[in-house]
Amino acid sequence: MDNAIAKPSKKEAFLAPLLKANPLFVLVLGTCPALAVTTTLEQAIGMGILFTVVLALSNVIISALRKFIPEYVRIPSYIVIIATFVTVVKLLAEAFLPELYSSLGVFLSLITVNCIVLGRAEAFAQDNPVLPSLLDGLGNGLGYTIAICIIALFREILGAGTLSFGKTFTFIPQVTIPLLKGDTWDYSMPLLQQPTGAFLVLGIVIALIAVIVNFRAKQAKIKKEEVKE
């Protein structure tokens, strides 16, 4: 049991951040890109993939070097490692996904100062072996991707009224699915595409999750009391 507390299992390291400890919805970290790049679903997916790559790779390197980095210079060392991977990912994106690169713009560089990356380095990678750190990085990256995709779904469907693919990832054919907006009808709310909509959607989604968590906690409590009686 002691061992399990000191070293969380590999499965737990990967699965916990997907829902239970979601970095965006539960811990409310990394809000800047979550608001800025969620106008379309495709952009959010692209950001999520690049973010996951940076997080997983920096977690691996930091955990591999954990015995060599002196404690008092650890934060600058981590930041330099993270910034290096951000530069690598930036150059790769510029070469192979130029549309994604230009639509994400400065937010690609801002992964460097995303609290989640430094947070995982501090909280997990610096005192765990390489493999669990890799899984932790992948899990957190995936959890974050899911979270920003949910926000982007709301904002694109309700705000633009359509769901379009092929604009950011040019290697797939261009498709536009009309949902709330067609040739003759238009029920979309363009406000949600604006910055205001970003704040509003994130706030409401976090509140809804709190409602569900509170409801389930209440149900569990009632069940417990019934068992007691």
Partner 1 sequence: MSVFVAFVLAILNAMLMDNVVLSRFYGICSFIGVGNRVKSATSMGLAVTFVIVLATVVCWPIYTFLLVPAGIAYFDTVIYILVIASLVQAVALFIRRFSPSLYRGLGIYLPLITTNCAVLGVVQSNTDTGLDFLSSLANGVGTSLGYFLVIFLFACIREKFEGTNMPKAMKGVPIALVTAALLALSFYGLQGII
Stretch that binds partner 1, among 14-22, 143-151, 181-189, 191-199 (CB under 8 A): 191-199
49, 87, 99, 164: which one contacts partner 1 (CB under 8 A)? 87
Element (H, E) at 30: none
Q: Is 110 in the site for partner 1 (CB under 8 A)?
A: yes
Within 151-170, which residues bind partner 1 (CB under 8 A)? none
Among 13, 16, 36, 147, binds partner 1 (CB under 8 A): 36
Within 89-108, the residues that bind partner 1 by CB under 8 A are 90-91, 105-106
Q: What's the CA gap between 4 and 139, in Å, rounded?
A: 19
Shortest approach of partner 1 to residue 148 CB, angstroms?
13
Integer Cα distance of 66 and 75 in angstroms: 12
Q: How far is the CB of 215 from partner 1 (least distance, A)?
A: 9
Paired tokens of 191: 């406000």
CA distances from 8 to 56, 124, 156, 168 (A): 17, 10, 37, 38
Q: Judged by CB under 8 A, does residue 129 bind partner 1?
A: no
Long-range pairs for 77-83: beta carbons < 8 A, 24 or more residues apart:
78/118, 78/121, 78/122, 79/112, 79/118, 82/54, 82/58, 82/111, 82/112, 82/117, 82/118, 82/121, 83/112
Phi, psi of 226 (to 5 degrees): -60, -40
Residue 212: CB minimum distance to partner 1, A: 9
Compute how many other C-beta atoms are within 10 angstroms of the C-beta atom of residue 116: 22
Tell me which of 31, 65, 162, 163 binds partner 1, using CB under 8 A: 31
Which regions of the chain does DSSP assign to beta strands (E)?
162-165, 175-178
- Comparing CB distances to partner 1, the nearer of 104 and 138 is 104
For residue 80, the minimal CB distance to partner 1 (Å) is 6
Count of residues that bind partner 1 according to CB under 8 A = 42
Residue 65, interface with partner 1 (CB under 8 A)? no
Residue numbers at the binding site for partner 1 (CB under 8 A): 28-33, 35-36, 76, 79-80, 83-84, 86-87, 90-91, 105-106, 109-110, 112-115, 118, 194-200, 202-204, 206-208, 210-211, 214
